[in-house]
Amino acid sequence: MKTIKGPAIFLAQFAGDAAPFNSFDAICEWAASLGYKGVQIPTWDGRLFDLKKASDSKTYCDEIKGVAASHGLEITELSTHLQGQLVAVHPAYDTAFDGFAAPEVRGNPAARTEWAIDQVRRAIKASKHLGLNAHATFSGALAWPYIYPWPQRPAGLVETAFDELARRWTPLLDHADEHGVDICYEIHPGEDLHDGVTYEMFLERVKNHSRANLLYDPSHLLLQQLDYLDYIDIYHERIKAFHVKDAEFNPTGRQGVYSGFQSWVNRAARFRSLGDGQVDFGGIFSKLTAYDFDSWAVLEWECALKHPEDGAREGAEFIKHHIIRVTEHAFDDFADAGTDEEANRRMLGLA
């Protein structure tokens, strides 16, 4: 068995215009002061990271690694969640998602898609420059507006959407394979890959591509009422990244999984700071450890109630407490009788 690495923190929810959140050096110093050992970088945030420079220059990547190392930190993964979302966008969401794109491609869906694909390609190359073997992203979505089967979906609608999604991602998966990087899709509502079945539909269409892997985030599974522990048993060989995020689901007579268009504070299904929700992290860390997951446990903080800096501070200790330092000896070694094959046969009555 192997020991999970961490604690680490995804910087996306903390980056801002005020110090210490407005530069990579300062935010690394802050993260290290809380006890984090790794940082996951949002590649769309120019205050922290220059993706174009990172894809073109290994020297720049060495400098970024050096900044992290100067604070005792490692870079865990790069993230293109926002750009990956734009690889496939249903027209109903054009306006809502245009803000994720560069200004020059907004209002032009075809150009926006090409820009997003280039962004993911650059992040794959930058990951190699940084010596990383996993990359976090979203799949995007073409079929999401049709998630509920009313009105009745026309025959072939979903299949066509997944065929197109696979067509767009296959060259990126091949590019990732050339650079020794796993694409880790975060299974997430709003993406066509939002549960195990949809991931399998996609996997079949990309011919079980070895680089089409998973970012495990139990919060999104709990809010869909999936068995997130059984999910690990099913997909552990494909889980290459891990977001440690908590959530709670408290249905009432008025609202359930869909939460009635309410704000995050008032939803039955909502994200919480680590330890404040319902996710069984003891079970999760135990299963991942038993399956030899040896990558990073990365805090993704999202909570409508708690201050983010409190969530970050508490999260470092929470993850540290849950990481299992694996044993080098069996617990019952003290009782080893030192038997051999002849003794075994006598015990079975075969001598």
Q: Say yes or no to pLDDT of 40 above 90.
A: yes
Q: Say yes or no to pLDDT of 189 above 70.
A: yes
Tokens in use for 272? 């919480």
pLDDT-derived band at 332 (thresholds 50, 70, 90) equals: low
Give residue-wise pLDDT tens across range 274-317: 999 999 999 999 999 999 999 999 999 999 999 999 999 999 99
- Rounded to 5 degrees, what are φ and ψ at 203? -60, -40
**302 neighbors 269 (Cβ within 8 angstroms):** no
pLDDT-derived band at 346 (thresholds 50, 70, 90) equals: confident
Q: What is the DSSP letter of 31?
A: H
Residue type, 101: A
Q: What is the DSSP letter of 101?
A: S
Tokens in use for 243? 């977001």
- The span from the CA of 38 to the CA of 314, in Å, is 16
- Output the CA–CA distances (angstroms, integers) from residue 316 to 4, 21, 24, 221, 278, in the order listed: 14, 17, 19, 22, 18
Q: Say yes or no to pLDDT of 90 above 90.
A: yes
Q: Which residues of 318-329 are buried (b: 16+ CB within 10 A; e: fewer)?
A: bbeebbeeeeee
Q: What is the mean pLDDT of the chain?
A: 96
- The span from the CA of 85 to the CA of 156, in Å, is 23
β-strands 269-272, 246-249 pairing: antiparallel
Q: Which residue has the tokens 């809380």?
A: 34
Q: Which of 197, 202, 200 is nearest to 164 (CA)?
A: 202
Residues of the chain with pLDDT > 70, as a percent, come to 98
**Which pLDDT value is given to residue 2?**
93
**Which pLDDT value is given to residue 210?**
98
- Output the CA–CA distances (angstroms, integers) from residue 11 to 14, 25, 278, 335, in the order listed: 5, 12, 24, 48
Q: What is the DSSP letter of 299?
A: E
Collapsed DSSP state (helix, strand, coil) of residue 149: coil
Give residue-wise pLDDT tens across range 2-25: 999 999 999 999 999 999 999 999
**Which pLDDT value is given to residue 333?**
66
Residue type, 226: L
- Output the CA–CA distances (angstroms, integers) from residue 69 to 16, 40, 98, in the order listed: 22, 14, 35
Give residue-wise pLDDT tens across range 103-158: 999 999 999 999 999 999 999 999 999 999 999 999 999 999 999 999 999 999 99
Tokens in use for 20? 């210490």
Q: What is the mean pLDDT of residues 42-71?
A: 98
Q: Give the per-residue SS3 of 244-281.
A: ECEEEECCCCCCCCCHHHCCHHHCCEEEECCCCCCCCH
Q: What is the DSSP letter of 284?
A: H
**Which pLDDT value is given to residue 136?**
99
Q: Say yes or no to pLDDT of 327 above 90.
A: no
**Which pLDDT value is given to residue 351?**
73
Q: Say yes or no to pLDDT of 337 above 90.
A: no
**Which pLDDT value is given to residue 32?**
98
When divided into structural domains, the chain yields a total of 1
Q: What is the DSSP letter of 195?
A: S
- The span from the CA of 155 to the CA of 161, in Å, is 12
Give residue-wise pLDDT tens across range 196-205: 999 999 999 9
Give residue-wise pLDDT tens across range 222-281: 999 999 999 999 999 999 999 999 999 999 999 999 999 999 999 999 999 999 999 999
**Which pLDDT value is given to residue 234?**
98
Collapsed DSSP state (helix, strand, coil) of residue 52: helix
- The span from the CA of 346 to the CA of 300, in Å, is 56
The domain that holds 105 is classified in CATH as 3.20.20.150
What domain range is 147 assigned to? Answer: 5-347
**Which pLDDT value is given to residue 58?**
98
